[in-house]
Amino acid sequence: MAQGSVFDQVLDYSHRADPYPLYAELRKTPVARQEDGRYVVSTYREIVALLHDPRVSSIRPEEAAPPGVPPSFIRRDPPDHDRLRQQVMRHWGPPCAPGRIEGMRGEIAALITELIDGFEGRSRVDIVDDFAYPLPVTVICQLLGVPREDEPRFHAWAAALIETLDPRAGEAEERRRFAVQTELGAYLDELVAARLRRPGDDLLSALVTDDDPGGRMAREDVVSTASLLLIAGHETTVNLITNGMLTLLRHPDVLGRLRRDPGVVVPLVEELLRYEPPVHFPAQRTALADIEIAGTVIAEGARITLALAAGDRDPRRFRDPDRFDPDRVDNQHLGFGSGIHYCFGAPLARLETQLALSELARRLEDPRLVADPPPYRRSPALRGPHHLLVEVSNTGV
């Protein structure tokens, strides 16, 4: 069997545990046309240029949307994207709602304490199942106003949707995505209807009752936005926390430093977002015109795949890029993307990960990896361990 292109090898599950040597090969051709006609962009400067280029569209013309569940704002272009994003930001963060995320700090910290307390008496824990998954799921449910007891339902939907994010996804994956989005949309539409009848203090209630100066958000857009926040609001953070703990266990000197000096967690998480990001490939883009970049012309109508994780290891942008260095300066990573589609949930993901890693470092006594590398999830786009088994001697107070 032919080995395939470098990009094909990156996507192959056998390289999921360590795709970075292949990313180095990929960067030798900054903009590489694949057999299926797509262009893969792997170097930092070119990725940033395209993320800010209005000739690059986030709309997928071939993508069918279920009735009542239009594409979320990250799959739209201006002016629709800007209008919808602004409407959500009125209730999410600065300047209109500066305290919503920061105001959850105490509740997030209490939840972290409760989860680690649950390790007591155990010599082995799964950082994914016992900690990194329940933490962001509980937080996003509370923030949105989604019943936590419904978690088994949307966990299955989320897992199915993540499986369709492979850049090579074909018709079968598209059919599966359509079916899952239909089910998830129907579930969220019921919650929206309930908030219209009886609003609360959650984000869903704010979206369905607020008369924005530009007009109230359409009900179907509330559903698609809620779907985006519910899935992306926990799936990427699971990976970020798990990748973070794995990286710390592989760098015991940094783990010890974090235990002694919790203040290092802020630059540490930023370096983690560069070094082991949760998102390796964002949603596919499409060229609206011929685009000349790095000596290559991306043809109008062609699909574009941006290899963010490859760009974040680009030696032309980052000194000694394969070294994990919390003291790195000028760390303008692509962990949350860039441009108009910069990650909407970045403030929440940062807060959750900073609090989580600080407390794990403080309380876990002599943590040790059971298997390295651990088993990874199937998705090449959202990359992280499926399980992360750790042996511990004790949990501190």
pLDDT tens digits, one per residue of 257-277? 999 999 999 999 999 999 999
Q: How high is the pLDDT of residue 191?
A: 94
Question: What b/e string do you get for 11-47 counting C-beta neighbours within 10 Å, with b at 16 or more?
Answer: beeebbeebbebbbebbebbbbbbeeebbbbbbbebb
Instruction: Choose among 27, 23, 37: nearest CA to 286.
Output: 37
Contacts of 351 (CB under 8 A, 6+ apart): 101, 102, 104, 105, 108
Instruction: Choose among 374, 288, 11, 15: nearest CA to 173.
Output: 11
- Residue 260 Ramachandran class (φ > 0 left, ψ -120 to 50 alpha, else beta): alpha
In the beta sheet, which residues pair with residue 292?
A: 297
Instruction: Choose among 207, 211, 188: nearest CA to 141.
Output: 188
**Cα–Cα distance measured from residue 38 to residue 267, given in angstroms and rounded to the nearest whole number:** 35
Percent of the chain with pLDDT over 90: 73
CA 134 to chain centre: 16
- Helix 105-117 to helix 134-144 angle (10° resolution) is 150
CA 327 to chain centre: 24
**DSSP at 132:** I
- Helix 252-260 to helix 346-363 angle (10° resolution) is 90
Beta strands in the chain (DSSP E): 31-33, 39-41, 56-57, 124-126, 285-287, 291-293, 296-298, 303-306, 364-365, 368-369, 389-391, 394-395
Q: How high is the pLDDT of residue 396?
A: 65
> SS3 for 121?
coil
**Cα–Cα distance measured from residue 199 to residue 204, given in angstroms and rounded to the nearest whole number:** 8
Residue whose tokens read 């260095």: 325
Burial of 251 (0-12, 13-18, 19+ CB in 10 A): middle
Q: What DSSP string describes 163-191?
A: HTT-TT--HHHHHHHHHHHHHHHHHHHHH
CA 297 to chain centre: 30
Question: What b/e string do you get for 193-220 counting C-beta neighbours within 10 Å, with b at 16 or more?
Answer: eebeeeeeebbbbbbbeeeeeeeebeeb
Residues recorded for the chain:
397
**Cα–Cα distance measured from residue 39 to residue 297, given in angstroms and rounded to the nearest whole number:** 10
Q: How high is the pLDDT of residue 234?
A: 83
Q: 58-275+339-395 has which CATH code?
A: 1.10.630.10
**Cα–Cα distance measured from residue 238 to residue 392, given in angstroms and rounded to the nearest whole number:** 20
**Cα–Cα distance measured from residue 19 to residue 280, given in angstroms and rounded to the nearest whole number:** 10
Helices and strands in the chain: count of H runs, count of E runs: 15, 12
Half-sphere exposure (Cβ direction) of 266: Cα atoms closer than 13 Å: 3
Reported pTM: 0.94
Q: Is the dihedral of CA 104, 352, 45, 7 positive or negative?
A: negative
Question: Could you tell me if 101 and 347 are in contact, meaning their C-beta atoms sit under 8 angstroms apart?
Answer: yes
Instruction: Choose among 297, 66, 301, 265: nearest CA to 181.
Output: 66
- The string of pLDDT tens digits covering residues 20-45 is 999 999 999 999 999 999 999 999 99
Average confidence (pLDDT) per 10 residues, the chain, 397 residues: 80 96 98 96 98 94 76 92 89 76 93 96 96 94 90 83 73 80 91 93 90 80 91 89 98 97 97 97 94 97 97 98 96 96 92 98 96 95 96 78
